[in-house]
Structure 1
């Protein structure tokens, strides 16, 4: 059998789907310069809506309901039209008000909408996978392309439809008046507006077309793999984004080329490399990182897209004003200002005294455990805040440092001391304390190593490259079973002691987490007010101006990655012993996005913001279960979270504790 040819054929089929989804990404990015993370969910909705329209009965909200039972050729276009309309609605409601908002606000909004749509799908259709019916041509015999080389009619239809759609989009953009208006808006939106082009309508049209393409790609993907699920858009969405960057985000031919290359590379890797099928996702991200090192703008992209926009991630205006919210946030700002007049040391000691009093007064182990998780996520967010909030580098791979610390301590105790040397880990619990330092240093070293290649890329390319690093670490942890035990994780991590008290007690855990939090906050506060912190802030506000004034950008960026990694590693060691179990499920991209959302929610670049965000998030998850509808459909909690984040980006993009940030910018 011509093995390579069959692999190539399989790669072309899946690559064409990646390419079509990548074109959807790049079409919107080219016009509005937004990496729309919600495209993965629009991809998913295309498959779900088509399936729903094709069946005669469907279980929605756990209730069996009659459905139209339409033919595929009617259901598919209707689903695409519905998703396209949804894309227009999302642009008008969530993205259009943020055209002039801080640069991070639209990105966080797209992430919030992604969480919202996925949660809606889980609430409506349930969390499990559903079988997707084959195409009407699926019953035809396969076509022979040579000796033992065949292609099914369904595969041929998928490939052909994807190619025709991409050619059609390219023709539309290059040969129609609306397409030329999109290109003009992408080139210079201000100049386009001055010559009479309705820029907002053009951007909305780009969202409509991009959403329709994402839905179409989702239908083809669901047909190829014969299933739909609420999470089915996550991995293909990342692959499509990877393909768009490989080809040069903003270039439609580049996105198509990147998708084909990615699909073929994955197929060949799965067929020839040892355990290639389990590491093919890591290969995709490794290919992305290597290409960005050599050619940061991608194969067919423009070099001018690999730039950092002027101003920090938080600077800018554009938020909506609502009288009630203005009054509420004005009260918050005055409260933070009043606290500032007391002096930071007094406020810090007062906050510590209140926290200690809570730890003594609260009798419920459940709520003590909740407070421990608030402190854990607050510390994690503080670590990420160093890179994003202080240095202004959008990092989507920070969770890898958390994983490094957790796995380091776990493997030292279980794989080395217990399994290799036969030592009872409970008798050497004290190794936990040096592991805190060593795990932090190991993560800091990894942060500097991984940070160095990212210095050649800027803006959104930087975020995507760090995303690739984080995913590589997670995939290796999942599939290197001989070392990490794969998805089963590492168990039997010993519980240390804290001043003679058992770490198994929630109260002990709380006071240890509180002490660790105080150390982390003290270190971050001293850094932010030192020469190093001032250099980070200068780079964040205007990198070019800072370097012209003598700030060594490379050195201080690497230091930011190292310090951030150190905090992530230390918290990872603590988390491993807190849970006494670690697995790759704790270190997903969603966790990284969650930590980023916490610092945005509380106030990017502030000391208290990460903990305000963590407290709101953790407590919200628990209290929302008291709502009857949420109690019946727990996934809907994330719908409420998505709505909360979108509202925050619309009305308060600088975060709740924005007033606390002003002192860190030396204004």
Structure 2
């Protein structure tokens, strides 16, 4: 019995932290209806700032700096205040201008803010972990709960602190004038403003309070596990979102209940299920998906999140740009509205220039960069089918990329080489049917995964697809006998063509270019067909499209299948190009990055994904010539995140946004 009780105690400890983090999540969502993906970074900063203020000296940006060496309580309070101020600043700069923008704009901006904060933290404190200075509650007496069960001082203090914080938030929301204003703004911002409630100020206060709670959850987590790192907020952030949805996002008591339940379920799964310790995260995401299928509003929540506004992913105007930015954006507009570029001769000329580039460029390094531009451009094209054309926000696309890559790798390495003991070079021709079969397998998987998501919309859809993507990654990480786990699969043969090994950057560039031409022709024909028009109609107004006889279920599944097919084909080539794959290639961050490329280039366009990939990869290379970036390479991603925030603020349609109207109306 003591074993069960210990599991329950462990679950309550983690559940208290999850609950506190979920309350922070749901407080912001309840007021502004926004899933804040930067939450994990605010969580992380709470731990880092507390640990830093407790030290006598710390190394920041490579320089030793004297610190005050404060006690835990003072340092924690200051860290919460600093993160709260940062949350308010982020809201004013990045989120406030997007109050009336389509839902995708603030979501993408929050992702960009997450990238900026994580990159700055890596540059400041380093990419590794930092030990927490001391156990601040090591002298707090333990509480015996039985002959074989003891709750340590650190554990009960953490649970008590989380409980008091959640109780304080509940009382604040229901017993104070500001809390009443928050509830009024959450119900109807327009009506609240008409009766004199300063809605923007209320939303800013919600962001500050939510940020402070995120910092508190982060510092409690850091002192519990005795470490901090720039990436430590990623998984707790996902768990907080899961807990908030489980309890009912928008409901403070629901978020607290969801966090406690999630902690208990994970702890019991780890203790009793076979290999439960490695698959407890899968249990969490399976629970999330089942809940979204059968009760999307959660245990105590409401259904309003399961909706999507017409044109919510592509429509909307940005802020008025300044003279310099207007000139730059105007140049892109003129480029994509030039009638000459729409003629077939122009496309042939562009293809000829791409072919000539492969002969002219002598640097193998730059040819490798161009191959990656084509790979990420194709991945963004696959995601663009679902997000840009069909209007379905998918955060699990990397699963299809992974399926294609693992399909061909397992066939060549596990079956042909290790199972049959044959030389893989003699079976070089299998790569070419693998491109088709891998794409079809991934497309079938996309339909199977996509079908359950048809019952959900809006933010729920994004969260559910995120759960599917994470399940695939976790299974690939832990199914060692099949995927070789984190060590990955090595020695995947390079592409060949009748004895000619395509193992040079130049030959691989031409292979990738040929693959890109075929897949672009495939996607463009679909996009300009009746199927593509049906996708666009569903994207712009699903109810009106279905009233006109367009089957939402049929065409959404076709979008998922097409997207998965492209991802699977690219995955097959990617595996043979890299000659090594592992679950680290297919993380949520990669999915977010691909989504950012689609938004950067232009949702619902054919040129946008490649333009976004080119801007991203070339920017990462050229920015290394900036002196500060040379010293701290992580700042490249911070600069890229800032660039994306500016673009979403001033050009939410993307750089190639002007190409969309002809595609949808031509």
- TM-score, normalised to structure 2, is 0.99
- Residue 16 of structure 2: aligned partner: 16
Structure 2: distance between partners of 1:169 and 1:82: 19
2:259 matches 1:259: yes
Deviation at 1:282, TM superposition (A): 1.2
Deviation at 1:100, TM superposition (A): 1.9
Deviation at 1:574, TM superposition (A): 0.3
- Residue 58 of structure 1: aligned partner: 58
Deviation at 1:342, TM superposition (A): 4.4
Structure 2: distance between partners of 1:521 and 1:309: 29
- SS at structure 2 position matched to 1:422: coil
1:47–1:219: 8 Å Cα contact kept in structure 2?
A: yes
- Residue 550 of structure 2: aligned partner: 551
Counterparts of 1:153-192 in structure 2 under 5 Å?
153-192=153-192
- SS at structure 1 position matched to 2:137: helix
1:454–1:465: 8 Å Cα contact kept in structure 2?
A: yes
- SS at structure 1 position matched to 2:222: helix
Structure 2: distance between partners of 1:316 and 1:644: 19
- Residue 649 of structure 1: aligned partner: 648
2:495–2:577: 8 Å Cα contact kept in structure 1?
A: no
**Against the structure 1 CA distance between its residues 103 and 347, is the aligned structure 2 distance closer, same or farther, given a 3 Å change threshold?**
farther
Structure 2: distance between partners of 1:492 and 1:500: 18
- TM-score, normalised to structure 1, is 0.98
Structure 2: distance between partners of 1:361 and 1:536: 40
- Residue 604 of structure 2: aligned partner: 605
- Residue 576 of structure 2: aligned partner: 577
- Residue 136 of structure 2: aligned partner: 136
Deviation at 1:349, TM superposition (A): 1.1
- SS at structure 1 position matched to 2:311: coil
Structure 1: distance between partners of 2:267 and 2:343: 57
- Residue 474 of structure 1: aligned partner: 473
Counterparts of 1:270-419 in structure 2 under 5 Å?
270-338=270-338, 340-419=339-418
Counterparts of 1:106-145 in structure 2 under 5 Å?
106-145=106-145
Structure 1: distance between partners of 2:501 and 2:81: 59
Q: Deviations over 1:589-638 (max 9, x none)?
A: 00000000001000011000000000011111111111121111111111
- SS at structure 2 position matched to 1:127: coil
Deviation at 1:311, TM superposition (A): 2.2
Q: Say which is worse superposed, 109-118 or 125-134, in terms of deviation.
A: 125-134
- Residue 535 of structure 1: aligned partner: 534
Q: Deviations over 1:10-65 (max 9, x none)?
A: 00110110111111111111111111010100000001111111110111112222
- SS at structure 1 position matched to 2:59: strand
- SS at structure 1 position matched to 2:145: strand
- SS at structure 1 position matched to 2:304: helix
Structure 2: distance between partners of 1:376 and 1:501: 22
Structure 2: distance between partners of 1:495 and 1:161: 56
- SS at structure 1 position matched to 2:144: strand
Deviation at 1:161, TM superposition (A): 0.6
Structure 2: distance between partners of 1:73 and 1:635: 31
Structure 2: distance between partners of 1:305 and 1:460: 6
2:602–2:655: 8 Å Cα contact kept in structure 1?
A: yes
Deviation at 1:368, TM superposition (A): 0.6
Q: Deviations over 1:523-573 (max 9, x none)?
A: 111111111000000000001111111110011111100100000000000
**5+ residue gaps in structure 1?**
none
- SS at structure 2 position matched to 1:654: coil
Structure 2: distance between partners of 1:354 and 1:534: 31
Counterparts of 1:401-440 in structure 2 under 5 Å?
401-440=400-439
Deviation at 1:298, TM superposition (A): 1.4
Structure 2: distance between partners of 1:59 and 1:96: 34
1:97–1:320: 8 Å Cα contact kept in structure 2?
A: no
**Against the structure 1 CA distance between its residues 342 and 39, is the aligned structure 2 distance closer, same or farther, given a 3 Å change threshold?**
closer
Counterparts of 1:484-503 in structure 2 under 5 Å?
484-498=483-497, 501-503=500-502
Counterparts of 1:14-53 in structure 2 under 5 Å?
14-53=14-53
- Residue 637 of structure 1: aligned partner: 636
Structure 1: distance between partners of 2:79 and 2:305: 33
- SS at structure 2 position matched to 1:145: strand
2:88 matches 1:88: yes
Deviation at 1:320, TM superposition (A): 3.6
2:211 matches 1:223: no
- Residue 208 of structure 2: aligned partner: 208
Counterparts of 1:506-521 in structure 2 under 5 Å?
506-521=505-520
Structure 2: distance between partners of 1:547 and 1:402: 31
Q: Deviations over 1:69-97 (max 9, x none)?
A: 01111111000000000000000001001
Structure 2: distance between partners of 1:539 and 1:171: 43
- SS at structure 2 position matched to 1:655: coil
1:319–1:653: 8 Å Cα contact kept in structure 2?
A: no
**Against the structure 1 CA distance between its residues 144 and 123, is the aligned structure 2 distance closer, same or farther, given a 3 Å change threshold?**
same
Deviation at 1:318, TM superposition (A): 4.2
1:58–1:64: 8 Å Cα contact kept in structure 2?
A: yes
Structure 2: distance between partners of 1:526 and 1:277: 47
1:102–1:317: 8 Å Cα contact kept in structure 2?
A: no
Structure 2: distance between partners of 1:274 and 1:133: 36
Dislocated runs of 4+, deviation >4 Å: none
- SS at structure 2 position matched to 1:59: strand
Q: Say which is worse superposed, 277-286 or 591-600, in terms of deviation.
A: 277-286
Structure 1: distance between partners of 2:312 and 2:358: 38
- Residue 67 of structure 1: aligned partner: 67
1:122–1:635: 8 Å Cα contact kept in structure 2?
A: yes
Q: Deviations over 1:306-335 (max 9, x none)?
A: 111222311122424322222321232122
Deviation at 1:359, TM superposition (A): 0.6
1:102–1:653: 8 Å Cα contact kept in structure 2?
A: no
Deviation at 1:343, TM superposition (A): 2.9
Q: Deviations over 1:503-540 (max 9, x none)?
A: 10111100010000001111111111111000000000
